[in-house]
Each structure stands twice: as structure tokens, then as C-alpha cells.
Amino acid sequence: MVSYIGVRRIREIVQRVGLGQVLRGMAEAIEADFARWPEFEKVARIASHSAQGVIELMPASDGRRYAFKYVNGHPANTARRLLTVTAFGVLADVDTGYPLLLSEMTFATALRTAATSALVARRLARPGAGSMAMVGNGAQAEFQVLAFREIVGISEFRLVDPDAAATAKLVANMRTMGFAPGAARVCAATEEAVRGADIVTTATAAKRRAAVLTPGMVEPGMHLNAVGGDCPGKTELDPGILLRPDVRVFVEYEPQTRIEGDIQQLPADFPVTELWRVLAGLAAGREHADQVTVFDSVGFALEDYSALRYVHELALERDIGEDVALVPPGANPKDLFGRIAAPGALRAVQEAA
């Protein structure tokens, strides 16, 4: 039997463990797996693009467990009252090839993306960072602000989005999450939101070459967490930002980010540092207080491996989940037909022949 964690069960896990603790635990799982980066088979995600969006498969394995995620990104879905991103994933045992877990990953992807963002900012933002501009207040925004509060200690958030309803939704949800009064400040323009911020997170959905941030908005010592530029032809940062001499760019998996990240705008030899090297202690993070650090985040399969592994562990510890017969049971491994055929079915086939 395979353990199944659907939407109802992932909500049960979050409610029993606590959303803040789930984010912290997921960040710890991601950090631990990135630190053993050389153990993993890695490949850029397999993408099928259309005019409406993209459907992707994201696999990763450490030789003991294999994981993959199916995920879509369709920005126009909101006009149909559908989610922009949906996902599910599988965790399997490499020795047998048998699946261990089938899980929803729409929620889990939002959680792992926010956990990764905050984990990286904890390493790269300047010490004592207390303020963050949240540029783009859609489906990912609540997860981001909560992760930055829980993992980085951010207490002041400047919110900006051309859709006033999205920002109002975020403000209302922040109240239910127990943010202090005044923690959220609604801004009329991006320039206002980023001015003086220690961290700037961009999480926009439009599939186009955009310059949500321009060089004049970026101040010494900022950490930029660019989340939304995650497929070919989709960017958030003006290339002039990345070319500034005080900027250092960090990525998850360089071959994938060259295709999908904001660095797709730059020459192939533009220098970047892979995140795992920082987490493993092989490369420096922030080098001085005035340096501008950029996390060009596109989302990588290893993060999904970590998320599935962590969800599986939580589900087993708390006996949450449902057993589903995703693999046919039976005593004789060579008699697959007998596992599906009704009594007399084999005889009928023989007579027909």
C-alpha cells in the first residue's frame, strides 16, 4: 500500500504541527539535503510550454529515495477562478522502485518555496535585517511573509501589488496569523515599498520580460529574493541590477537558472554561486555589509525531494494519511494478469483465441 496525503491530510498536518513549525522544519530539511548536494542525481526540470503557461516534471534522487513533482504554472487561470500553480508529487524507494508516498504539492510547493527563500535570506541578508518589501501579493505572499517572520525574524513588511484586492487579502490573512498591528504597511508604488528595506521579495506571476525592480531602486546592503522569474521569457529584475559591481548572484542549480531565471538575460559566462556551496561551507555568502545579494530563485527538484521527505516523516510520526492500492497486490509476482482478471476471465480469453 502507498501512503496518500491529499489536501485534507496536508491541512491536518499543518494544523497539528503548526504552520510556523512546518516552515522551520521544511527549511531544516532543505538545508540538510542541499548540504549533501553531490549525493543527488540532478537534472533541470522537463517543461512543456504553451501560450497559456507551462507544465513541468521535476525529478531528483539520492540513490535511496527518488522523488518527482508534476507542477503547472498558468498565470491567466485567476481569470477563470483557478489557481495559477497546482502540483502533486511522489516519493519512491529506489531499491524496489515502489512508491512510498503520493502527495498533494500545491500547498507543499508554496511552503517549500517560502522556506527556501527564508533559509537563503538568513544566510545572505545583512545581520539585524528587520524589514522586507513584498512586491506581488498573490498566492505565494502569505507563505513568504510568515516564513520571513518565523525563520529570519522580519517584523516590518511593505506590501505592493497593482491588484488592491490581492493586497487587502494579504493584510487580512496577516491579521489571522497574529502579525503585530502595524507590521504590514500598504504602499502605492514599488519605489515606496523598497525604499530603505533590508530585503526585497518579488513574487509576480505575469509570464513576460518584466523589470519589477530597476537599478535605481536597489540600495547598498539589500538582499533581493527574486521568486517570480521562473521560466524562459519571464523575468522580474532589470538586467542592470545584476550587472552592478556591488551585486553577487546566488542560484539553486545553475544549468536550470541559466534557462529560466533572471540571469537568462545575461551572457552564459556571467558569474553565479550555487546555493549548496554556501550551505556546505564551501563558498562565502555575503562578503560585506554594503554588498547587494540576489537569490535568483526558480525552484529546483531537490527542494521538492526535501518537502516530500519531510511530509512523509511527519505523516508517519503522527499516523496521518490514507493507504491507497496504487500498486497491485498479489502473491505471485509473475502473474500480473491474475491480479486483475475476474474468475473465468482467462478461460474466456483462451476460448476466444
Quote the CA–CA distance of 170 and 139 in Å, as a whole number: 9
**Residue 53 is placed in which grid cell?**
503557461
Catalytic residue among 198, 230, 296, 304: 230
Residue 105: C-alpha distances to residues 11, 31, 109, 275, 298 (Å): 12, 19, 5, 23, 16
**The Cα angle at residue 120 between residues 94 and 180, in degrees rounded to 5:** 120
The whole-angstrom distance between residue 299's C-alpha and the CA centroid of its chain comes to 5
Would you call 156 exposed, middle or buried from its count of C-beta atoms within 10 A (0-12, 13-18, 19+)?
Answer: middle
Separation of alpha carbons 185 and 145, rounded Å: 13
Question: How does 281-306 read in b/e, with b if 16+ C-beta sit within 10 Å?
Answer: eeeebbeeeebbbbbbbbbbbbbbbb
The rounded distance, in Å, linking the Cα atoms of 139 and 141 is: 6
291 DSSP assignment: P
Exposed, middle or buried, 184 (CB in 10 Å: 0-12/13-18/19+)? buried
Please confirm, yes or no, whether 230 is among the known catalytic residues: yes
Output the CA angle 111-38-66, nearest 5 degrees: 55
Rounded Cα–Cα distance for residues 214 and 210 (Å): 10
Q: What share of the chain is helix, strand, coil (3-state, %, to 5)?
A: 40, 25, 35
Catalytic residue numbers?
Answer: 230
